[in-house]
Amino acid sequence: MGKEEKLVVEVVAAHNLMPKDGQGSSSPFVEVEFEHQKRRTIAKHKDLNPVWSERLVFPISDPADLPYRAIDVGVYNERESGPGGRNFLGKVRIPASGVPAPGEEAVPQLFTLEKRSLFSHIRGEISLKIYRITGGDPVSTTGNADQRMAKAKEHVPEKPQMKQQVVTAPIQPVLKQPEPPARPVNPIPVSAPQPVVHASGPEFYCGAGFGVSAGGQDFSLKETRPRLGGGGDGTRDKTSSTYDLVEQMQYLYVRVVRAREHPINGESLAEVKLGNYRGVTRSTPASHWDQVFAFSKDTIQSSVVEIFLKEREKDEFIGRLMFDLSEIPRRVPPDSTLAPQWYRMEDKKGEKVKSEIMVSVWFGTQADEAFSEAWHSRAAGVHGDGLGSIKSKVYLSPKLWYLRVSIIEAQDLIPGEKGAAAIGRYPELFAKAQVGNQLLRTRTAPITASRSPANPVWNEDLIFVVAEPFEDYLLISIEDRVGPNRDELLGRVLIPVSAIERRWDNKLVVSRWFGLDRPQVSSVPGRFGSRVHLRVCLDGGYHVLDESTMYSSDLRPTAKQLWKPHVGVLELGILAASGLMPMKGGTTDAYCVAKYGQKWIRTRTVVDSVSPRWNEQYTWEVFDPCTVITIGVFDNCHLEKNAASLPAGGIRDTRIGKVRIRLSTLEADRVYTHAYPLLMLHPSGVKKMGELHLAVRFSCANAANMLNAYVCPLLPKMHYVEPLLVRQVENLRYQATNVVAVRLGRAEPPLGREVVEYMLDHGSHMWSMRRSKAHFFRLVSVLSGLIAFGRWLESVRSWQRPVRSVIFMVVYIVFVLLPELIVPTGLLVMALVGLWRYRSRPRHPPHMDTRLSQAESVYADELDEEFDSFPTSRSADVVRMRYDRLRSVAGRVQTVVGDLATQVERFQALISWRDPRATFIFLVFCLVTGVICFAVPARVLLGFWGLYELRPPKFRTRLPSPAMSFFRRLPTKADSLL
């Protein structure tokens, strides 16, 4: 039975506390509560920056239940009058899920004090050091603060030193040196880089540890300071220049190629053992494997690495080879890969045998070429087909084209046995086109006196989405509607998509006649052939939209001949994630997917970790700065270890959250390192699923091309010359998403349809009350500036501040007398305002805003409606209630639209003579006003009109003006409505 564990909360210090004793100071103490146990420190008399350095120890009843517990820390002021009196100075609630285990390093962390209620006056930070110990570990309750802060600084990981050396001599294997017995130690998880909290005053180091979001629901963006490229400012290792946006991760690589001269007749395999980790090659009869094993340096528990040669399904080994880790060389890219060599193996007694094995062993980083295809020690529990789904890969979206099919007419159609000749009716002829699973049809051919029913005319365009390489066929069929849901085939033609002509502009391709293959009819054995007139082409001048236009990552046309030079390079470092929600069995198998342009990337899967570290870097060429990159985090459900707990209806990776970054909001050549909140909307509300740590840099390749891109059309030329209808764009986007999902699902490992649809916002067009509210309040926010300006003008007119009204009147008269100053003055004011706002410009990229999305104030029924399927699967009573609610909302919209139409119709009624007297008055007014404008200069009229409007309230009346009264009396068409 293991020793009893205890929780230690070391209260280090606090800073910048709020004075609460009425004399400009406080006597603070800290009270900590864990599992209904309370401990407190001593009070520091009249000290707003106290230092305690006290340890508070709590017994843990059940360590397995620790991830579901929390630590409540409260700071109070001890009153001098009366026993037990205290004032609240702040609190912090810390999840216990990330507390370091016994034996792991723990460093002080800085937490911002939170309010108890909306009206609390709180400020300051508190520094805590939280960790676990076993019952036998000594715990002292006092200590020196300076010594502890110095000790915490010693825990900062040093920059890894990578020696640049060329190894020419072979590695000498260790002979007859038995490995000392190593006690089994669980691998120490390395946590993700945590945000650095910036505060004035004394600095507290926030090192690697467990992340805590203040309040448990902190949806803000946090700036981090990871050690990119292996070092901090000015200390970055030059050997990692190609991976300068990620933290270096050291690995031991073992490459096992093949074996020879061994007595095995059947299938053989090689086993690589390092401490408690064991990697096994696949079994082959030829003893040829060529596999690479990667062991994380953080989990190395032994001083030697062993390689065994075994026969399949047998525990006894044929030969063994050992290497001392201290003698293994370090490979530094861009050096070539280390050449494997033949080594003689030894038996159990340590004597040399005839068997030889070809291996190579070296230390490297994730920049090594073997990293992506290697077997990783952290995924030792994954076997079989699951190994293929955990590796990092790069995918390319298929090249999408619009296939335009213009169905013009048909000739010499022969009705079938059940057609017009048989039952004496006029045929209802239509054309149907199909490519893959996409099916479109024309309208029924109109009846004309100049053409017979056998020669229908349509002149209709049908557009499809096809992908290279073209493997599909275009099927055109002419059918006759002989009854409800009964269509009779009159003829069809099959055209390979690969044989269709391509075009880059709006020039029409040559139309062609195609013969129709029709089924044999007994009464007419086929005297002559029917045919159809088509114009078919592949449009390369369009950009095929496979994602929402608001979040597009690529706006180039399909044809490569029309591409412009790239304007920059986007570099993305996917560092880590922290505080992920356990998705299955108390843990998560997380991986990231990023999409920009045609390039998709997928990181490796980090198995069994809620704080995974990837540290993978990727690069894209940027052709338009006003585009968006999307990064999503998913839980891998395709591992064999999870097969038993998954539903039988199919394996689908679970969404954890995603992040969007618009490139135009990034400064050129600046590295942005932030922790982005991963937010997911559930039927129960918005939830924070964790934080994703990214490093992003947008480099400008050509400043002239970059600035020119801002004045070029957003979409290619064909979208404006031959624009697509709105309903066509939405339908084509749906088809494009399906095509991309099918193609990426055929890769290895496949990128699931649920991943592709989530990254491309597949269901964003569906109705949502929450989204409608969000868009409405966005519109209100945009119009609030105009409304505020109108209110300001009204305050000037009302002379609430006479000085301001007089100044405005003087400026108005100046502009009337010198109108040429209006435009330059307005432009100069806007320039000055823009320069002034440069000081307060946004320093961080935008992120998901729950308040803007109306996710914090949404009702449960509205969320249930948003997550409902289409068509609905809810009961009739629920659907009726939602329909009534939608009717009430639509009624208000209907009223607003009717009022707008009424005002416009009153303008039209001014000269329509619908009201003869009103039109007569308006014409007389126009004549008199026209004569006055000819006689009096315009600036004089404008000046007198402005002074009249700005007259003081004493000379005004509250009644509407005569013009407004006249306008409201005009007739509208509302009188004619039913």
Q: Does domain 5-154 have CATH number 3.20.20.10?
A: no
What pLDDT shows up at residue 201? 33
Give the pLDDT confidence of 661-681 residue by residue, as tens digits. 999 999 999 999 999 999 988
**CATH number for region 251-364:** 2.60.40.150
The pLDDT tens digits for 441-480 are: 999 998 887 888 888 999 999 999 999 999 999 999 999 8
Q: How far apart are CA 624 and CA 712, in angstroms?
A: 10
Residue 809 has pLDDT above 70, yes or no: yes
pLDDT at 208: 33
Tell me the pLDDT band of 759, cut-offs 50, 70 and 90: very high
Say how far apart CA 192 and CA 580 lie, in whole Å: 11
**Chain-centre distance of CA 713, in angstroms?**
26
Q: Where is average pLDDT lowest: 82-91, 728-737, 849-858?
A: 82-91
Question: Is pLDDT larger for residue 415 or for residue 973?
Answer: 973
Give 139-142 contacts, CB < 8 A, sequence gap 24+: 139/6, 139/8, 139/55, 139/57, 140/55, 141/54, 141/55, 142/53, 142/54
C-alpha 503/C-alpha 403 separation (Å) is: 11
Q: Measuring CA to CA, which residue among 535, 534, 551, 552 is closest to residue 543?
A: 552
The DSSP result for 136-178, as a single string, is TS---S---HHHHHHHHHHTSPPPPP-------SPPPPP-S-P
Which pLDDT value is given to residue 267? 87
pLDDT band (50, 70, 90) for residue 658: very high
Q: Phi/psi at 594 (nearest 5 deg)?
A: -125, 140
pLDDT in tens, 285-338: 888 999 999 998 887 878 889 999 988 888 888 889 999 888 899 887 777 888
Query: Helix, strand or coil for residue 276?
Result: coil
3-state secondary structure of 693: strand
Residue 860 has pLDDT above 60, yes or no: yes
Query: b or e along 27-38 (b: 16 or more beta carbons within 10 Å of the residue's beta carbon)?
Result: bbbbbbbbbeee
Least confident of 238-247, 359-368, 904-913: 238-247
Distance CA 765, CA 169 (A): 64
> What would the pLDDT profile of 541-599 be if each residue is shown by its tens digit?
999 999 888 889 999 999 999 999 999 999 999 999 998 988 887 788 999 999 999 99
Average pLDDT, the chain: 82
Whole-number Å distance between alpha carbons of 86 and 749:
61
Report whether pLDDT(785) > 80. Answer: yes
If you compute the radius of gyration of the chain from its CA atoms, what whole number of angstroms results? Answer: 37
Specify the pLDDT at position 164. 34
According to CATH, where is 2.60.40.150 located in the chain?
5-154, 251-364, 400-539, 549-641+649-764
Question: Residues with Cβ < 8 Å from 721, sequence gap 6 or more?
Answer: 505, 506
Q: Prior bond to 871 cis, omega within 30?
A: yes
Structure token digits, residue 904:
């416009």
Superfamily designation of domain 549-641+649-764: C2 domain (2.60.40.150)
pLDDT at 649: 47
- Listed in order, strand segments (DSSP E) in 597-742 are 599-602, 613-622, 628-635, 654-662, 671-682, 685-700
Residue 239 confidence (pLDDT) above 70? no
Any idea what DSSP says for residue 83?
A: T
Q: Name the token pair of 640.
A: 């064999």
Please name every residue paired with 359 in a beta bridge, in sequence order, or none if there are none.
256, 341
Q: What SS3 string covers 559-598?
A: CHHHCCCCCEEEEEEEEEEECCCCCECCECCEEEEEEECC
Report pLDDT digits (tens) over 387-420: 778 888 999 999 999 999 999 999 988 877 665 5
pLDDT of residue 461: 94
- Which pLDDT does position 423 carry in this prediction? 54
Average pLDDT value for residue range 3-14? 88
Please check the confidence at residue 350 and state whether its pLDDT lies above 80: yes
Residue 648 has pLDDT above 50, yes or no: no
Peptide bond into 842 cis (omega under 30): no
Q: pLDDT band at residue 163, thresholds of 50, 70 and 90?
A: very low
667-670, long-range: CB < 8 A, 24+ apart: 667/698, 668/568, 668/698, 668/699, 668/700, 669/697, 669/698, 669/699, 669/700, 670/697, 670/698
Specify the 3-state DSSP secondary structure of 68: helix
Of the chain, the percentage scoring pLDDT greater than 70 comes to: 86
Are 574 and 631 in contact by the 8 Å Cβ rule? The answer is yes
> What's residue 278's pLDDT?
87
Do the beta carbons of residue 360 and residue 339 sit within 8 Å? yes
CATH class of 400-539: mainly beta
Q: Which residue has the higher pLDDT, 195 or 491?
A: 491
| Residue-level pLDDT at 570 | 94
Q: What pLDDT sits at residue 734?
A: 92
Residue 856 is predicted with a pLDDT of 80
Q: Counting every residue, how long is the chain?
A: 978
Residue 691 confidence (pLDDT): 93
- At 175 the pLDDT is 43
Q: Reduced to 3 states, what is the DSSP secondary structure of residue 514? A: strand
Look at residue 834 and tell me whether its pLDDT is greater than 50: yes
Q: Would you state the structure tokens that stand for residue 733, as one six-digit string? A: 């986007």
pLDDT (tens digit per residue) in 701-734: 888 888 998 999 999 999 999 999 888 998 999 9
pLDDT digits (tens, 9 = 90+) for 548-563: 888 899 999 999 999 9
Question: Which is more confidently placed, 4 or 758?
Answer: 758
Identify the pLDDT of residue 600: 95
Q: Distance between CA 871 and CA 869 in Å, rounded?
A: 6
Residue with tokens 């300051």: 124
pLDDT band at 617 (very low <50, low <70, confident <90, very high): very high
Read off the pLDDT of each residue in 829-845 and give the average, rounded to a whole number: 90
DSSP letter at 107? -
